[in-house]
Amino acid sequence: MKINPSEFMMIMEASIDLPFMEHIRLIQLMRSVRQPSADLCLDQPAGQALYLMARSVGRAAEHLHDVGRRRSKFNASGLPLPPRNGTEPLMSRPSSGGRQATISPSRRMDSLSGCTDRGPSSSSSAMDLSFVTERILALSFPPEMDTTTYREALHQAASMLQTKHGDNYMVFNLSLPRKEIGLWNPRVLDVGWPDQLAPPLERLCSVCRALDSWLQADPQHVAVLHSKCGLQRVGVVVAAYCEYTGLCPPNQQDQQSLDRFSMKRFLNERVGGLRTPSDKRYVEYFAGLLSGAIQVNSSPLFLDHVTVVGIPAFQSNGGCRAFFKVYQGSVPVHTSSIYNLHDSARHFTMSLGERGLALRGDILVKCYHRHRLPVDGRETIFSLQFHTCAVTQHTLVFQRQDLDDACQDLRFPLDGSVRLHFSTSPESRLMGVNETHTRYTVESSTGDPVVRWDSYDTVTDSASCPDDHHRDASSPAGLTQSERIRANTEMLMNIGEADEFQVFGIDLLPTY
């Protein structure tokens, strides 16, 4: 069945933010209409042996082809012949670390793009175009790449894709929407999410469904996964889609097994695995919900307490000045006071009011250390993400290795953990949590613009992908317009580079 690319984009964009269970029903419906038949599964040893044998034969043929092609470039005297315009291949031969493509038709452009058979360059001008499977490509750029180089490389990639695939390729933009992508690619589906966060569960499901629908619509269709922040978010989608294809009907097991083998190889050799604990958790959520291993929890959920076991050492004399922010989706729903925690304490418990905090969907809990100097300084102690549909117990325990940021920060105790205590109603609140043995003092954060600044990024830490900053447009409750202006002025004086930040939904841009 042929499908019009424009119609496909309209359908996918209309359904991209459907609730998670609606996506699951659509997936099951789409899978049920595929016809069963066929046998060989490449996840089995025999299948993998056949695949490796075929791959070795293919590599030998490519090697012989390359030797003949190189010999044809020299004359009878052994001197290189001048290059002929348009005769260089548009795509380089695959390397042992994955099939990586060179987008440029000349060595000058190879140097510019940084795409070589040795793998992606660490240079700020490096663009990485790699094969995930035969019909899925990963197109990623380092976050520090300047806009001019990015646009030039993007234009070259679009030219190559158009030349090779015509109207049969679709760009899935995994970063936040960027107007540059649509300048040269007429078929772009924006399915991205803010940097430094795991994708919302509904978004992860919709991306996999859209990707599968596009590839199944026509055997000639090719999907390009675009990311402006490196390969990590590509890895998240590939890992989720690998789980998704595991539910394929029998008549597709041979091809899907081959694709899963390629995707796992790409994850291991090109991405290096998922590094962020929340990314891993969300892929596990996705796999468990698809397979039925995780039963969806539809009961109301109230977060009553947050307990930190082991006090982080963010001050010279130990301890920290911690405050917490809780987000539901992209909306901040709670900001705590500043707690001065002493290193002599073994644990600390924060209460979220008498009735708890009602939560639903994707939740982000972020803990900061408030620096005394500089006055505008705050630093992430830990952050964690979870989805309420997967919460089936009254207490969730996150060990150090399960916490974003803290998992690689030696200032967080090696045996430390974070515990979230839930109840199903305000009346059934857990009363056994004890916070009397914790040594701390509380500072009011009402007038502190750094604490009340609602953003997923910190003020002092540069984000890993400056172009993907996520800004919340909500103003903290209880602040008048004059207070917001005063807070913005204080922030502007402290930061200096005001054009990179937004406070309380007001852009801090210089006025000319």
Q: Is the pLDDT of residue 72 over 90?
A: no
Phi first, then psi: give them for residue 13, nearest 5 degrees. Answer: -65, -35
What pLDDT score does 319 carry? 93
- Average pLDDT, stretch 134-148? 92
Burial class (CB within 10 angstroms; exposed 0-12, middle 13-18, buried 19+) of 231: buried
Q: Which long-range contacts (CB under 8 A, 24 or more apart) does 210-216 make?
A: 210/12, 210/16, 210/172, 211/136, 211/172, 211/237, 211/241, 212/30, 212/241, 212/244, 212/245, 213/8, 213/11, 213/12, 213/30, 214/8, 214/170, 215/135, 215/136, 216/30
Residue type for position 127? M
**Nearest of 384, 206, 392 to residue 294 by alpha carbon:** 392
Residues 6+ apart with CB under 8 A from 19: 202
The conformation of residue 120, written as its DSSP 8-state character, comes to E
Q: Poorest-confidence range of 260-274, 289-303, 446-460?
A: 446-460
Nearest by Cα to 210 from 260, 171, 248: 171
For each of the domains in the chain, give its residue range(s) and CATH number, in order of start.
5-72+90-291 (3.90.190.10), 301-448 (2.60.40.1110)
Write down the pLDDT at residue 429: 66
**Strand 417-423 with 301-309, pairing:** antiparallel
318/58 Cα distance (integer angstroms): 60
One-letter amino acid for residue 189 of the chain: L
**Which single residue is written with the structure tokens 């899978």?**
31
Q: What is the pLDDT of residue 20?
A: 59
* φ, ψ dihedrals at 169, nearest 5°: -115, 150
Residues 6+ apart with CB under 8 A from 230: 140, 141, 142, 143, 464, 465
What is the model's pLDDT at position 180?
82
Please say if the pLDDT value at position 493 is more than 50.
no
Q: Give the list of residues 6+ apart from residue 41 with CB closer than 8 angstroms, or none.
A: 47, 253, 254, 257
Between 72 and 11, whose confidence is greater?
11
Is 361:388 a contact under the CB 8 Å cutoff? yes
Mapped to the 3 state alphabet, what secondary structure does 29-98 carry?
HHHHCCCCCCCCCCCCHHHHHHHHHHHHHHHHHHHHHHHHHHHCCECCCCCECCCCCCCCCCCCCCECCE
Residues 138 and 266 sit within 8 Å (Cβ to Cβ): yes
Report CA torsion sign: 52, 54, 58, 64: positive
What 3-state DSSP class applies to 369? strand
Q: What is the pLDDT of residue 45?
A: 55
More confident position, 410 or 30: 410
Name the range with the highest mean pLDDT among 32-41, 413-422, 493-502: 413-422
| Predicted local confidence at residue 61, as pLDDT | 52
In 3D space, the residue among 87, 157, 170, 108 whose CA is nearest the CA of residue 129 turns out to be 157
- State how far the alpha carbon of 297 is from the alpha carbons of 205, 235, 360, 388, 407, in Å: 17, 27, 10, 7, 28
pLDDT tens per residue, range 333-348: 999 999 999 988 889 9
pLDDT for position 9: 62
pLDDT of residue 400: 97
Whole-number pLDDT of residue 37:
39
pTM confidence score: 0.68
- 145 has a pLDDT exceeding 60: yes
State in Å, rounded, how far the first CA of the chain is from the last one: 56
Which range, of 28-37, 128-137, 215-224, averages the lowest pLDDT? 28-37
